[in-house]
Structure 1
Amino acid sequence: MNTTIVIADDHPLMLRGLTDFLTSKGFNIIGSAQDGNTAYNLIVKLEPEIAVLDIRMPHKTGLEIAQACKKHKLPTKVILITFDKEEEVYDQAIDAGVFGYILKEFAVEEIETCIKQVLTGKPYFSKEIAPNLKHNTIVKPKNLELLTKSELKIVRLISENKTSQDIANEFSISIRTVDKHRSNMVAKLNLDKKPTSLAIWANINKAFL
C-alpha cells in the first residue's frame, strides 16, 4: 500500500496503538510526534500523504496544524482524531479543510476506512458525530429547494460517496456535465469552493436528500 502517514498524539499509548495498527495494515508511518510543533515540522519536511492528528496537543493543536496546512497549501490531507463532539469544534475543522474527523472511541474501527476514503479525495466523518450536530441534522436546509430534480439526484449519489465518474455512468452523461452540476450546486448552496465542500454538505444533510 505504501501510503505515507505522519501520526501525532500526546498520549503515548494511543500513539503507539495507532502506529502499530496502521503498520499492520500496510501503511507507511514515516513520522510520529507527541506535540503539535514537532508534528507540523514533520509534515512540512516529509510531506506525507496523510496526517492523523489528535486535536488537543501541547504547543500546537491538531486544528491549528490543519489551519496552517491549508494556509500554506501543503499537499498533506489532515485527519483529526478527537473526543470533541461539539458542533463548534467540528465547524472549525471543516473551515480548516480537514478531510477526516474521527471520534477517539471509534478510532481503531474507523481509521483504516477513513484513510482509504480520504486517499480517493472523499471526506470521511464518524457516523457517531451526526447526532450531535443539531443545526445540521435536525433543521432542513432552506436552500435545498433551490436544487433542480437532476441536481438532487446527483447530490444524493454524492452523499453515498460516488465519484463524478460513477455519477456519469449512472445517468449516461459526461463527467464534464456532472462537474457543471457540482459547480452550480456549490453556488446555489453558497458553499466554499474547496473540492470537499459539496460532499461534506451532502453527508451532513443526507437525511433530507
Structure 2
Amino acid sequence: MSDDTIQPTATVDLDARHADKMAKKKNAREKIMATKVGEKGLIIVNTGKGKGKSTAAFGMIFRHIAYGMPCAVVQFIKGAWETGERDLIEANFSHLCQFYTLGEGFTWETQDRARDVAMAQKAWEKAKELIRDERNSMVLLDEINIALRYDYIDIAEVVAFLRDEKPSMTHVVLTGRNAKDDLIEIADLVTEMELIKHPFRSGIKAQRGVEF
C-alpha cells in the first residue's frame, strides 16, 4: 500500500469528531422538530432598509402557485412600475393568483396626499376582501408598510382586522420599510432586511430582472 492511500491520524480523528458532532446535532434537531406539530396562518412582516423585502414575499407566492394553492397580491404603491412578477402571474397563473395593483406610484410621484389616501384605502378594502376569502391560502400586501407609515391607513384598524378577522389558516405577508411596532407585535414572523451595500449609491439604476 502506498503512502498516498494512508490517511494521517489527525485527519481520521478530525473526520470522526465531525461525524460524531453532526450525529449529535441531527439527534437534537429531530427532538426539537418532533415538538413542532402545530399549523396556523401566519402574519409575516418583511421590513428594513435593505433590498429583498418584496422579492422574498413573491418567493412565497410562487411557492403557493407551484403547489397549486390559491393566493393573491395587492400592491399598495408600485402602480406605475412594470414588474416581472406581475407580468408572469397575469400571463400564466391568473387562475391561481389574483393580482391587484392599486397604488399610483411612490408618494413623491403623485404629490397628492388626498389621492394617495383614497388609493390606499381602496387597496386596503380589496385586501380585506381577499383575506376573508378562505380559498386564498396566502395574501401578499406589497408595500403596505409605506401606506401605514404615512397614515394613509389606520394601523389600529389593520392590527384589529388581522387579529380578529383573518381566517385561522390564511397567511398574510406585509412588506415595506418602517413597519409599525404594533404590526411587529402581532406578527408571527418578522424579518428585517439590513442594508450593507447597494449599487444605487454607486450610480447604478434599478435594473430589469433585479429590482423589477
Q: TM-score by structure 1 length?
A: 0.36
Higher-RCO chain (CA-CA 8 Å, sequence separation at least 6): 2
More helix as a share of residues: 1
**Which structure has the bigger radius of gyration?**
2
Q: TM-score by structure 2 length?
A: 0.36
